[in-house]
Structure 1
Amino acid sequence: MGYSSSLSDQEWEIIEPLLPKKKKTCPPTWTKRQILDGVFYQLKNGCNWADLPKDLPPYSTVYWHYKQWRASGVLREIMTALHEQVRAQAAKKPKWTTLIIVDSQATKNTCNASTESKGFCSYKATNGIKKNLGVDALGLPFFTLCTKASLSDDKALIEMFAQNIDYFKAKPVNIPKITVMVDHGYHPDKLIPALEAIYPQIMSKIRFKVAPKMSRQEKAELGISGFVVIPMRWIVERSNAWMDRCKSLVKNFDRTLDNANARIHLCFIRLMLKRLAKAS
């Protein structure tokens, strides 16, 4: 029986080469496609692992593979590989970009969350975690990071870039500077010295741009009020909305921040598989 979260034949053909190769032992009881169907079912529907439908592999088998792929970085590698394919499909450089839009989304904790992931964001009045994204013009992430909600946006960006500093070090000199677009919750005057302490040449590779924000006077002149969409910022806001399609991401059900981050990887893996399969 198929589910809306299950892989199609075209999607399986795309992701199969990216999965780790099994050692030559006795044939497995369950295929990797069936295991992935179990992982994506839990991601989309937000059920307990033990409540997976009985026609899917046993939850212990599904969770064991998910845990191994998460710990070994396989999910991150698959997301990166699919991202490169989607960018190539859109006639963009697969690996390099000239625009990264950064944003954070505060998500409430549930009773499952551990002390590690508990923090209160006073700005958004949320007790939980922050999902930090660095996306391209397609709204797909180059970088992701989950932190306590109490961590400021500036510190989260510094940590996210520090974890991915090799990307900036490897950037070719013949590609223009990467514009890092942020909103008014970030402060480039604080970010620049902190990032230069990690990689002194980083400002030769990137530049910060604060997205424009319409003033009250400008709104009054145009006869509008309330929230006004900023086109370039809308891209990352749409990415946040994509994550909310997965019930397991609407709130934080994970005990660790690594688990929460792995679910973001899975969410965009599923989204990009659909996009690639639709175009094939």
Structure 2
Amino acid sequence: MWTTANRGKYKRDGLRYPSDLTDAEWALVEPLIPPAKRGGRRREVNVREVVNGLLYVLSTGCQWRAVPKDLPAKSTLFDYFDLWNWDGTLGRLHDELYVKCREAMDREASPTACIIDSQSVKSAEKGGSASTRAGMMRARRSRARSATSSSIR
């Protein structure tokens, strides 16, 4: 809930972009980022800026080619996104931060209840995926309707 106390807590005025990580947020994320591979060249990119770039793309919905110039290059961002998606880093980040958020609110790490709206129940009663598939298919036309009538004299 947006109370006076919460507004100050989530204020992001001092950041370059609203999607950038604060120092406290980075302290939570940094241990979850895998270290650079051993051997080969040293990692030259600032990983915090990579995370800021990925959060910028996710929060604004911009195209990779529209990433601002003060963030890492679009190819660098996409390569890290692809790597972290492939090796499971993004999933681990999500799961770990989700658990920490729930625990910070004095809730259990995993929810014990769920809410199903009436629309979901209706589609499940009708067969769920089959009814969804039928709704996504193009309607068939009747041949009789589209045929030219020969009853004209």
Question: What is the aligned partner in structure 1 of residue 38 from structure 2?
Answer: 24
Task: Number of aligned residue pairs: give it.
Answer: 112
Q: Is the 8 A contact 2:36 2:43 kept in 1?
A: no
Q: Is the 8 A contact 2:36 2:42 kept in 1?
A: no
Q: Which amino acid in the other structure matches residue 76 of structure 1?
A: G
Task: Flag structure 1 segments of 5+ consecutive residues without an equivalent.
Answer: 101-180, 195-280
Q: Structure 1 residue 2: deviation in Å?
A: 2.2
Question: What is the aligned partner in structure 1 of residue 112 from structure 2?
Answer: 98
**2: CA distance between counterparts of 1:52 and 1:35?**
11
**2: CA distance between counterparts of 1:187 and 1:45?**
33
Residues 1:184 and 2:118 are matched in the alignment = yes
Q: Is the 8 A contact 2:57 2:67 kept in 1?
A: yes
**1: CA distance between counterparts of 2:71 and 2:53?**
6
Q: Please, what is the CA RMSD of the aligned residues?
A: 2.5
Question: What is the aligned partner in structure 2 of residue 126 from structure 1?
Answer: none
CA distance 1:51–1:187, shift in 2 (3 Å): closer
Question: What is the aligned partner in structure 2 of residue 57 from structure 1?
Answer: 72
How do 1:220-239 residues align onto structure 2 when only pairs under 5 Å count? Answer: none
Residues 1:13 and 2:27 are matched in the alignment = yes
How do 1:61-76 residues align onto structure 2 when only pairs under 5 Å count? Answer: 61-76=76-91
- In percent, how many aligned pairs have the same letter? 29
User: Which 4+ runs in 1 deviate beyond 4 A?
Assistant: none
**2: CA distance between counterparts of 1:97 and 1:52?**
36
**1: CA distance between counterparts of 2:18 and 2:71?**
13
Structure 2 length-normalised TM: 0.63
**1: CA distance between counterparts of 2:116 and 2:60?**
32
Task: Flag structure 2 segments of 5+ consecutive residues without an equivalent.
Answer: 1-14, 129-153
Structure 1 length-normalised TM: 0.36
